[in-house]
Structure 1
């Protein structure tokens, strides 16, 4: 660890792990804590209200991580912005310009082909990892020249994939020798080791990072994760039009019946609650929360330092050769 495909980060990763980019959850504090603990910290650029704020985030995170390196003598893991490349992202060009100014070492692209941003990001020296949820999407991203593929598999939180991770990884390894990142159900160091054995170079861990002291998630969200299990994760198209893993208790708290939700993509700002509470209607992501199947592994709210230390111990126990 890490694999030969990640040699440029050989002495900077404590684990072959990415703190997954999570909407309204991944922020400055989580990024700083992840990277200084040797975990690649990723965040959606959409978490910033403007390109000016995105620029400010890069500056603050970079300053704090450089200070940490100066004070401790220990190198930090890369910071990895997540860029939505779908045509609906009106800020794509502006956010890309900010990324290029700051020169991130790794970038994740989501919701579409990475082709349109590959050249400028490669020219800036970045590795580009593309989210994919099907074999065909993986083939297209590989053909476009992506350095890595993030395989969204069954069990990932938020907008998720549907393929079994064992089948998906092995099918992609037949035609692709680049970096593979497994997204979906990684709850501890044992699962992380298993992902490597399967043929992955890295894995996402998302749900457990939601329930950290440094995440931007509402404290009620964190407590709900601690009290929930995988049985409380509902796969539904009601909130985004795409298959999305959401927490049943948060749907109930919003005044909705998780077993009788409206049609595909019908809920944006939830409409079927008391009209008298119109101005305070719950919204997806802000009030109706997502989680992956690894929710069963969330038993307490931890500091990132403690979560990474625990995961490292599990990882070493799972594979005695992991140093």
Structure 2
């Protein structure tokens, strides 16, 4: 089915072809609601909730706050999108899935594994299922499993990232898949978002700039570090997770570690690598050692999500006008 047919169910509710990326320990109720009421798809990982019960509470709260919302043009809110970790290490997968099925989401993104086990029940509940992928081979497998859309993790994405150039990745996948594509990595403003569309994508992720909004759950020190950092401060390393991960060098230094002398493979036990006192006070990845994408160079100040999205809309319109004039 062509991408336009799949996305037509909610395209007119979007102010931008944009997803506020689901980010561990960052995306919560306030950020999702702010994104959706401004015409941006609001996504969050279900594991950000302490339990399946809290996931149910979050979805109920978000739905209640958005149900009667419309923006100045009268459009209803953009969709809410849950992100399911489908790897076998997620002991809550089955329970979280059942919660989602009760809430009948419009869109779900699967991560860290094949979407195959959850596609049928989510389709029966009316959801579009997008799978995030970091290689052409994984994209082919997700399409074969029945994913409706793909999130292409490219070299510029924050956190656990891809490694392919976005131009190459998008065009290679477009050669065999005509469904919805989402570009993840390097989207710092409306100009980059318009470029992603010109490349062949239907939507894009914006993550790092949403971390630096007042509605995000991120530590205030984290937010301010993003403002003072640039793309030169991003370090690609396997040291903390065992997978290729884009992390902020200043946060590694603040934890007492040398960014230029980290293990090459495998998550390190920080308490054994740094003498900082009691083990319970040791720095923790994600909570003390923070991630960001190459788009950090586009973070200039802390903003409300409303203002950040409004600026992105203006940039996107400017970029679109230039393309038409060209």
2:117 aligned partner: 116
Which secondary structure does the structure 2 equivalent of 1:8 belong to?
Answer: coil
1:313 aligned partner: 314
1:35 aligned partner: 36
Q: CA deviation at 1:222?
A: 0.4
| Within-5 A mapping of 1:1-323 | 3-69=4-70, 73-320=74-321
Q: CA deviation at 1:121?
A: 0.2
**Structure-2 change in CA distance of 1:312 and 1:3 (3 Å):** farther
> How far apart in 1 are the matches of 2:277 and 2:299?
36
Q: CA deviation at 1:262?
A: 2.5
Q: CA deviation at 1:73?
A: 4.3
Q: Check whether the contact 1:268–1:284 (CA below 8 A) recurs between aligned residues.
A: no
Q: Check whether the contact 1:147–1:179 (CA below 8 A) recurs between aligned residues.
A: yes
Q: How many equivalent pairs are there?
A: 321
* Offset from partner CA, 1:264-288 (integer Å, 9 cap, x none): 1232554312252422100000000
**Structure-2 change in CA distance of 1:167 and 1:72 (3 Å):** closer
Can you give the 5+ residue segments of structure 1 that lack an aligned partner in the other structure? none
> How far apart in 2 are the matches of 1:286 and 1:103?
31
> How far apart in 2 are the matches of 1:34 and 1:120?
27
> How far apart in 1 are the matches of 2:151 and 2:42?
15
Please report the RMSD computed on the Cα atoms of aligned residues, expressed in angstroms.
1.6
Q: Check whether the contact 1:271–1:281 (CA below 8 A) recurs between aligned residues.
A: no
**Structure-2 change in CA distance of 1:72 and 1:66 (3 Å):** farther
Q: Check whether the contact 2:37–2:71 (CA below 8 A) recurs between aligned residues.
A: no
Can you give the 5+ residue segments of structure 2 that lack an aligned partner in the other structure? none
> How far apart in 2 are the matches of 1:70 and 1:246?
36
Q: CA deviation at 1:72?
A: 8.6
> How far apart in 1 are the matches of 2:243 and 2:179?
27
> How far apart in 2 are the matches of 1:269 and 1:73?
51
- TM-score, with length taken from structure 2: 0.95
Q: CA deviation at 1:53?
A: 0.5
